[in-house]
Amino acid sequence: MCYIVLDGTGAPMLPSETTGRPGKDGGRAGTREVKIGCFFTQSGRDPATGEPVQDPDSATYISTFEPAATFATHAKAEYHRGPFPVKWTVGSVTRVP
């Protein structure tokens, strides 16, 4: 099964990298939002604990400072690049037989 983890967080920047970007409360920006994605599969469980175990060498990662819509395009492309057993459709995930 494919798992997709997506997040966005503020990455600290030098003042020269935030020139012209408004900060919170009208101040100067000290961070920029970076979007991060991780794609991986898991197909088994740890026999000792019963916890799911990530498949070895199955993880791929993406990141960008680009807008969320562009990040979504990159995420969809990364998903299609991998050998995942489901098909991505906008707004839902559909299992492929």
Summarised one tens digit per residue, pLDDT across range 57-88 is: 888 899 999 999 999 999 999 888 877 655 44
Q: Give me the count of residues in the chain.
A: 97
Those residues with Cβ within 8 angstroms of residue 80's Cβ, 6 or more apart along the chain or in another chain: 88
Smallest CA-to-CA distance from 59 within 74, 44, 37, 76 is with 37
Return the pLDDT at 81.
84
Q: Residue 13 CB: number of other CB atoms within 10 A?
A: 16
pTM: 0.71
- The helix or strand, by DSSP H or E, that contains position 12, with its residue range, turns out to be strand 2-12
Summarised one tens digit per residue, pLDDT across range 19-52 is: 888 888 888 899 999 999 999 888 889 999 999 8
- What DSSP character marks residue 22? B
Q: What is the spatial distance between Cα 1 and Cα 10, in angstroms, rounded to a whole number? A: 30
